Structure 1
Amino acid sequence: MIESKIISSVQNPLVKKVLALKEKSRERKKTGLFVVEGRREIELAQKGGYKLNTLLYCEEILGDFNTLKISDKQSIELVQISKSVYEKLAYRKTTEGILAIAKSKSHSLDAIHFKNKNPLILVAEAPEKPGNIGALLRTADAAAVDAVLIANPKSDVYNPNIIRSSVGGLFTNQIGMGSTEEIVHFLKKKKVKIYCAALTASKKYMDCNFKSSSAIVVGTEALGLSELWLQNSDQNIIIPMEGEIDSMNVSVSAAILIFEAKRQRVQ
């Protein structure tokens, strides 16, 4: 690793760069870089094929740096920072004294490849709230879906809130992005059946067969799915509601639908 001196001033240019990457989506897009915080998230990022440019650590908090499972150490700049600088940079109070600057990936649909013959895909149209996006990625990781596709994205996936709420799930999923039209075309080209979570012309989700190549498509709680999805749906599906409220959080709905598909596939 390329070691540099200890940084103890929050006015240091590298510290300012990290703050800008954390706080400004524009800066992340311009540089192609983002900030990862925490031992588990950094290790998952590397495992997921993300390149680390710089590691910043506080020895007082982290302890022995050598316990980190870091590969390709020769090309990574290693920077020691004081506790006061770390506290300025840290997004969470409970992380272990380590942050990294990493290079973002392309999320084009052309980069999506399926290892399974009958892939299971989660599609989310226009998700906006970082907490919901993070929860969707956690569900996708838990179910080991083949890909997560985000149609008409409204949020930068490298937003620290999304990384935090996904608990590193951003790095463990194969993620593709595009317009609704592009993703519909992609799914049809791959001969993937489209199941849209919608209220109209719907079938109960437990009465559907998800054993073949399937994409489960969810929209926002406020607007649902756009007309283009409904026009191209092979089957609209619904989760029956037995209480007074007629909808659930999108990440909860996605989890129910995805795990029903998983249940069918192990029978």
Structure 2
Amino acid sequence: MKPIIYAFILSIILHLLIFLPIELKKEEPKKKKEEKIEKKSTLRYVKLMPKKVVVPKAEPKKEIKPIPKPKNYKVVEKKKIVPQQKKQPIKKAKKIPSSKPKKVVKKFKAKKKVAIKPQEKRKTIPNRSLENFLLSNPVPVDLNMLDVFTQKQIKTYGDEYDKFTNVQKVFIQNNLKNIVVITRRYYRFPPIAEKLQKNDYNIVEFYLYPNGDISDLRIVQKGRYSFYDKSILETIEFAYKDYPRPKVKTKIRFFITYRTY
């Protein structure tokens, strides 16, 4: 019996030695799977919820009240539009010439042209005033017929006065005195002149234009004191706005005397 028992024990030991490593090998992958599962278990998945779309509330519909009909009203019936027919032109009846004799129209002979004498021609021209005639055809007056002050002022031009046109000469003769008077009206003595009480004399020149502007303002003959020369130029720059205006560009030249009392 003993050998049978020993043989049975040996067979059991051999079986255990053979099958134990296989079972161990089978158990190892399970452990790995469990580790993987454990690693995976650390991850967490979050579900993203969809955005809520806020739908604006619909405003309640306004009730449209029917417009009450007026009490007194009339129902107007639509008129049928009838197309207008084209009017046919009315044929005029032809006039039958009458058998009456035609009137004879007498022809008058044209009168012969008669030459008009120059004296009679003057009668037909409308009368013009002497002033308008002189303005259209200006003729300068002899210098001896002018006042003494204007004669002295024109002498400052010298021989240049004879080169001016009749229009320029007439303007100078009629307006030079007035220009000097306007300049004196604007002139104010400088404070130095009132202190020194000195008299002086100088000649001024500039061009006057039809629109009232002036140019090339300068002192032709200077005085003994420069403050008089400066003050007269400043005065003309203000006073020229009131000067009479010529028909053409005209050179204006005049002298000014300064006397302090």
Q: Which range, TM-score by smaller chain?
A: under 0.3
Higher normalized helix content (fraction of residues): 2
Q: Which of these two proteins has the greater Rg computed from alpha carbons?
A: 2
